[in-house]
Amino acid sequence: MRDQAVKLVDKYLQSEHLIKHSYAVEAVMKALGEKLEPQKTDEWAMAGLLHDLDSDLLDYKNNAEESRLHGIKTVEILKNENFGNEYIYQAIKAHNEDENGIKRESVMDKAIYAADPITGFITAIALVYPDKKLASVKVKSVTKRMKEMKFAAGANRDAMRSIEDLGIPFAEFAKLSLEAMQGISDTLGL
């Protein structure tokens, strides 16, 4: 299953930052899945890896209609490619609930909403260090930076903090996410 998903990433994503972001969200979702729904860890990982698959095809930062389609378009692609299932599709569509109105329902839907922004946030923290390495980042720096609203101002803190609705304290989420990203630091180049 993963081999095919990696081929889809290679086929549809060109932007270096989106490719790295996809692998980072995969790693965090896999770790969250192991904790929250161990029997479905593969689906959690695939939802993470593929959630932004349409992002090089849509100008969703500047175009309201295309931003509404973000997620919906990915599911269209996956169906055409005969990949995935409804459980994965729903999480991918609902990760963009803020724009497309498709509600987050399952625990996985809610988890990806928090996992998506924390990867960029942790990356931004790593880049502050002289060596720009994830190995230099401490859990404490993540929790501290959460309160500095000027730091990585675009990172959606409410979304990241919503992990607590699933019974995971934020500091634990920060640790799990940091360790998951450190585990693929070569892929992330950090």
* Residues near Fe ion (CB under 5 A): 52, 116
Q: Which is nearer to Fe ion, 120 or 176 (CB)?
A: 120
Q: Which one, of 26, 29, 3, 22, lies nearest residue 173 by Cα?
A: 29
Q: Give min distance, CB of 190 to Fe ion, in A.
A: 17
Q: Give min distance, CB of 119 to Fe ion, in A.
A: 8
Report the alpha-carbon angle 5-180-2, nearest 5: 15
Alpha carbon of 132 to those of 47, 178, 188: distances in Å?
Answer: 28, 14, 11
E strands in the chain = none
Q: Give min distance, CB of 99 to Fe ion, in A.
A: 12
Q: Which is nearer to Fe ion, 54 or 116 (CB)?
A: 116
Q: Which is nearer to Fe ion, 43 or 116 (CB)?
A: 116
Q: Is 190 helix (H, G, I), strand (E, B) or coil?
A: coil
Q: Which is nearer to Fe ion, 49 or 174 (CB)?
A: 49
Q: Which is nearer to Fe ion, 136 or 184 (CB)?
A: 184
Could you tell me if 109 and 33 are in contact, meaning their C-beta atoms sit under 8 angstroms apart? no
Q: Give min distance, CB of 162 to Fe ion, in A.
A: 15
B/e letters for 23-32, b = 16+ CB within 10 Å, e = fewer, are: bbbbbbbbbb
Q: Give min distance, CB of 130 to Fe ion, in A.
A: 28
At 42, the amino acid letter reads D
C-alpha to C-alpha distance for 100 and 112, rounded to whole angstroms? 16
